[in-house]
């Protein structure tokens, strides 16, 4: 899964703006004018493999794991292409990334190339690979509850919560370590208990991030019926959710929009448009580049083409999608969408 907080971390870091400025300006220029890209996107998310050792209720990937993963040689070649094009932020997802053979060599090369690296994991294999932590800037652990048996049931992995807790403690004890994010999947059923979740994990991790649940048939995510029901009243739930965010200084535009996404999704479409493909792109386990995590537009195969050639060949179809809401999602690009929509509407550039 993806998260918007990493972008804030990069820009909040000492050298973040300096290191990303040229890429960001190029992305913005391409979006506004439609000109050919001179640099890659600021942010790339890479589903490095479909392999997974969990059986999550909301994910079908574990049922149909394939052997389509590309070789390590091709993965390293793609890393070079990303860094060489000006990509600054790489978020590695799965499946479960720590199952990947040669993962340490892959991470080492990513850092050698100057990429800032996040890994999103289910947390089951961190303690078996402690030497890999030093190559990460951010470690995002998917944790869906503050109650052990609830989390383990959602993830289909008995004992996983205990492993996660031990792993986080071990990582925190290291002299040099990544920032640790706890990332909760937010559903209609659990949104009323966000305050309890925050109280449990605050102080144990460096940041708490949220991802609202939604179906994505193209990449194998579905929403179980139990996630779509709740016993509370909408207004009461909303007030409690917003109060918990404000109390814990988590009340940013992305988080505040989660309630509307779950309960009034059409309001999200009215509030902001989608500008994926200009500032962020997605790579699947076969090395195919996509405009977004929803896999709406396949751009090209990174194993046999330079990234800038792929982006520029697909410039026209991406421009046609610019500002549209062909789907309803809430991925890492949502923050960019929120702020860009305000700017574009202000400048009356939406239909340019």
Domain boundaries, the chain: 5-347
Q: What is the mean pLDDT of residues 318-327?
A: 76
Residue 6 pLDDT exceeds 80: no
Residues 44, 20: Cα–Cα separation, whole Å: 13
- 259 contact partners, CB below 8 Å, separation of at least 6: 191, 237, 238, 241, 242
pLDDT of res. 345: 62
pLDDT of res. 305: 94
SS3 state at 52: coil
Residues 318, 45: Cα–Cα separation, whole Å: 18
Residue 11 pLDDT exceeds 60: no
Nearest residue to 293 via CA among 94, 35, 54: 94
pLDDT, tens only, 91-129: 999 889 999 999 999 999 999 999 999 999 999 999 988
pLDDT of res. 169: 96
Per DSSP, the chain holds a count of helices (H) and strands (E) of 13, 9
Residues 17, 163: Cα–Cα separation, whole Å: 36
* Cis peptide bond upstream of 95, omega within 30: yes
CATH topology of domain 5-347: TIM Barrel (3.20.20)
Residue 290 pLDDT exceeds 80: yes
54 and 122 Cβ atoms separated by less than 8 Å: yes
**Bridge partners of 183?**
142, 209
211 and 3 Cβ atoms separated by less than 8 Å: yes
Of 87-91, 108-112, 185-189, 251-255, least confident by mean pLDDT is 251-255
DSSP 166-234: HHHHHHHHSSS--EEEEEEEE-TTTGGGHHHHHHHHBTTBSEEEEEE---BGGGTB---GGGG--SS-H
Nearest residue to 46 via CA among 111, 102, 118, 98: 118
Structure-token pair, residue 227: 């996630």
pLDDT of res. 232: 67
Structure-token pair, residue 113: 């190339």
pLDDT of res. 16: 47
Query: What percentage of the chain exceeds 90 in pLDDT?
Result: 55
Computed over every residue of the chain, the mean pLDDT equals: 86
């Amino acid at each position: 899964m993806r998260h918007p907080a990493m972008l804030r971390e990069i820009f909040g870091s000492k050298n973040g703006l300096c290191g990303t400025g040229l890429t960001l300006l190029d992305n913005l220029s391409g979006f506004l004018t439609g000109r050919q890209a001179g640099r890659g996107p600021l942010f790339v998310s890479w589903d490095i493999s479909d392999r997974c050792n969990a059986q999550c209720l909301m994910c079908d990937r574990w049922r149909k794991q394939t052997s389509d993963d590309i070789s390590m040689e091709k993965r390293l070649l793609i890393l070079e292409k990303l860094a060489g094009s000006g990509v600054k932020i790489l978020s590695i997802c799965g499946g479960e990334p720590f199952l990947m053979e040669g993962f340490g060599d892959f991470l080492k090369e990513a850092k050698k190339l100057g990429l800032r690296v996040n890994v999103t994991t289910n947390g089951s294999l961190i303690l078996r690979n402690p030497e890999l932590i030093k190559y990460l800037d951010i470690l995002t652990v998917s944790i869906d509850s503050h109650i052990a048996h609830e989390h383990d049931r959602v993830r289909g992995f008995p004992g996983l919560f205990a492993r996660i807790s031990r792993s986080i403690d071990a990582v925190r004890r290291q002299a040099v370590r990544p920032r640790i994010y706890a990332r909760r999947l937010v559903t209609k059923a659990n949104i009323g208990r966000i305050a309890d979740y925050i109280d449990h994990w605050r102080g144990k991790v460096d940041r708490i991030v949220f991802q609202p649940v939604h179906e994505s048939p193209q990449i194998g995510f579905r929403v179980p019926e139990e996630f779509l029901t709740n016993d509370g009243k909408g207004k009461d739930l909303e007030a409690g959710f917003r109060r918990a965010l404000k109390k814990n200084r988590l009340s940013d535009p992305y988080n505040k929009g989660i309630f509307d996404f779950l309960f009034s999704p059409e309001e999200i479409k009215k509030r902001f448009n989608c500008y994926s493909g200009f500032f962020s792109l997605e790579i699947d386990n076969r090395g195919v580049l996509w405009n977004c995590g929803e896999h709406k537009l396949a751009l090209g195969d990174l194993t046999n083409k330079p990234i800038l050639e792929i982006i520029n060949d697909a410039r026209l179809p991406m421009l046609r999608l610019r500002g549209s809401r062909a789907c309803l999602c809430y991925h890492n690009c949502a923050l960019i969408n929120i702020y860009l929509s305000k700017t574009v509407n202000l400048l009356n550039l939406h239909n340019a």
